[in-house]
Structure 1
Amino acid sequence: MNPLIYMVIISSLTTGTILTMSSYHWLLAWLGLEINTLAIIPVISMQHSPRSTEAATKYFLTQAAASAMIMMSSMTNAWLMGTWNITQMTSYTANIMLTIALTMKLGLAPLHFWLPEVLQGASMMTAIIITTWQKLAPMSLILMTINNLPPKILIIMGLMSAMIGGWGGLNQTQTRKIMAYSSIAHLGWMMVIAPIMTNILIMNLLTYLMMTTTMFWSLMMTKSKTIQNMTTTWTTSPTLTIISLITLLSLGGLPPLTGFLPKWLILEELTTQTLTTIAILMALSSLLSLFFYLRLGYTTTLTMSPNSPLVKYKWRFKPTTQTLPMNIMTPMALLLLPLMPTIIY
């Protein structure tokens, strides 16, 4: 792609998200979402393969339907209540439509089917954008309207997402699909805590962005598209192999690492609000996700030389991927747990 055109597309992507996050009028928020969607379509289909074209089409249809539903809900609210202000969504019918539309944009269950297929058809770099940057605009709308959204629907959809994200990833061999189901499960944790305490939601979102970016970047540096590819990671970089393992454990939420922080606080808050059953189900669903993270970690690290002599060696070419983003994100994705008292108080 022409660098000038690529720069215009990336700047449009940034502008659309910032416009949605900074607006209080529904038309401006909708306009930002549309700019965002139209900018990401050429990025997804940039590979010029039937798979990427299919992924771009699926993404466009899903996001267009969700944007139309957002516009319908805002028009319903304006018709009944006489206001286009985002923070004054007081119509119950409009709020239900808005909840369904925003969860479809994010990829929560049961409206999650598009996310694994789109990520599988996109490149690794595009997958990073879809799973991180593209979540910011819908999440900001949820934060602005959270006082009016029905909490029972959000909690039920969050619980379903955590379970389906765990179950769906068990049967996958493609790393991008595994990361897609990981994204669905993490978004489920965010939605469960959203009606109760928004500052934990924001912290969970930030830790999710850091951990997901780090994991995708390590997959991109080692060119690991399947679990089988990950068995030869150590031939490319033994250090990166260890970083990938610890990042996977952080995504799974094991205690010494950053990923344990949001899950701990969410379970504590759910228990405080006497939602003990939901807290138990969420904790059990995280075990499903932890299983396929451990499976990835096993194939990456525990099959290192000299335990697997039949593995073909990779040539150690000079890496073409930038390492600076990973150098910045890795410490934050792994070592933020000791800073928890500073973050909270």
Structure 2
Amino acid sequence: MSPYALSMLISSLSAGTIITFISNHWFLAWIGLELNTLAIIPIMSKMHHPRSTEAAIKYFLIQSMASALLLFATTLNAWYTGEWTIINMQTQTPLLLLTTALMIKLAVAPFHMWLPDVIQGLDLMTCLILSTWQKLAPMTLMIQVSSEINTTLFMFLGMLSLLIGGWGGLNQAQLRKMMAYSSIAHLGWMMIVMSYSPNLTLLNLMMYLLLTTSMFLMMMKLLSTNINKMASSWMKNLSLTSTMIIILMSLGGLPPLSGFMPKWLILEEIIKQNIPLAMMAAMSTLLSLFFYLRLSYMMSLTTPPTTMSSKLMWRLKMKLNMSTTIIMSTMLLPITPLILNMI
């Protein structure tokens, strides 16, 4: 792809998200979401491969349906209330339709089935954009209307996402699908606490973006897309592979790593509201932790089958430009009180 076309698409992608951020009018927010979707379609299909084309078509159809549903919901709300203001969603039918549209865009269970298939057909950089940047605009709208949505609905969808995100990743051999189910599980944590504390949802979102960015950057450096390639990554760069194991543990929420911080704070908040839900959420985290541990085991304690006579591969020096994200992904827990004061 031409650098000029790519820069234009990245600018449009950023502009669409920023428009949604600054809008207080539903039609303007819808325009931002549409611009965001239309800008990423050519980026997804730039490999000119049947799988990437299929992924782009699937993504376009799903997002178009969600955008149409969102526009219909906001128009219906304007018909009832006479206003297009985002915070004025007082009628139940438009609110339910709007929630469904945003859940489809975020890939929250049970509207999650498109995400693993779409991510599997893309290159790692596009997967990174889809897993991080594309979550920002819908999540912003969801947080703005969260005070008017039924708390029970949020808890149900969040718990379902936690379970499906954990179960779905157990038998995956492809790292991109594994990261897709990890995204679904993390969104479950955001959903269950959104009604009680939107600030904790934002904190969890920021931590998810940080951990996912670190993980995808490491996968790009090591050229790993499945478990077999990941198992041989120690032959390419031992220090980076060791760091990746720590990032995986942080994604699973093990103390004393940074990923434990949002789960700890969310459980502390949920226990005050609903103890059985907190227990189920804590238990479902073990499912996600299992496939992170499985991947770590394959990377550190097994030797993959190889026809090479040497244990070490010929390799170039790898310049690491991700030290900041790695440090933040692992060492933020001691400054939790400072982060809480900031939010």
Which TM-score bucket, shorter chain as reference? Answer: over 0.9
Note if contact 2:232-2:304 (Cα within 8 Å) is conserved in structure 1.
no
One-letter amino acid matched to 1:317 = L
Measured against aligned partners, the alpha-carbon deviations of 1:41-93 in whole angstroms (never above 9, x if no partner) come to 01111110100000001100111111111101100110001100001111111
The aligned residue for residue 288 of structure 2 is 289
SS of 1:9's equivalent in the other structure is helix
Q: Quote how far apart the aligned CAs of 1:311 are.
A: 7.0
- Taking the aligned partners of 2:287 and 2:159, their CA distance within structure 1 comes to 13
* 1:59 matches 2:56: no
Q: Say whether residues 1:201 and 2:201 are aligned partners.
A: yes
* Alignment correspondent of 1:139: 139
What's the CA shift string for 1:187-206, capped at 9, x where partnerless?
A: 00000000110111110000
Matched, 1:276 2:272: no
Measure the CA separation in 2 of the matches of 1:311 and 1:89. 63
Q: Say if 1:44 and 1:122, in contact at 8 Å, map to a contact too.
A: yes
Q: Give the letter aligned to residue 287 of structure 1.
A: L
State the distance in 2 between where 1:191 and 1:215 align: 23
1:299 match: 298
The SS at the match of 2:147 is coil
Q: 2:339 aligns with which of 316, 320, 343?
A: 343
Aligned equivalent of 1:70: 70
CA RMSD of the aligned region, Å? 1.2
TM-score, normalised to structure 1's length?
Answer: 0.96
TM-score (normalizing by structure 2): 0.96
The CA distance in 2 between the partners of 1:145 and 1:187, in whole Å, is 17
2:314 is aligned with 1:315: yes
Structure 2: unaligned runs, 5 residues or longer = none
Kindly state the Cα deviation for residue 323 of structure 1 after the two structures are TM-superposed. 3.2
In the TM superposition, what whole-angstrom CA distance separates every residue of 1:104-162 from its partner, at most 9, and x where no partner exists?
Answer: 00001000001001110010000000000000000000111111122211111110000
Alignment of 1:324-335 (within 5 A): 324=321, 326-335=322-331
- AA matched with 1:344: L
AA at the equivalent of 1:195? S
- Identify the residue that residue 157 of structure 1 maps to in structure 2: 157
Tell me the residue number matched to 2:182.
Answer: 182
Residues 310 and 122 (structure 1 numbering): CA distance in 2 closer, same or farther, change over 3 Å?
closer
Quote the Cα distance in structure 2 between the aligned partners of 1:127 and 1:160.
23
Q: How many residues align?
A: 338
Correspondence 1:241 to 2:241: yes
- In the TM superposition, what is the alpha-carbon distance from 1:314 to its structure 2 partner? 3.1
Equivalent position SS for 2:87 = helix
Contact 1:253/1:263, CA 8 A, preserved across alignment: yes
In structure 2, distance between residues paired with 1:290 and 1:131: 19
**Cα drift, residue 309 of structure 1:** 8.1
User: Which amino acid is 1:323 matched to?
Assistant: L
| Distance in 1 separating the partners of 2:316 and 2:57 | 35
In structure 2, distance between residues paired with 1:184 and 1:221:
24
Report the AA paired with residue 276 of structure 2. T
Indicate yes or no: 2:135 matched with 1:128.
no
Amino acid in the other structure paired with 1:327: S
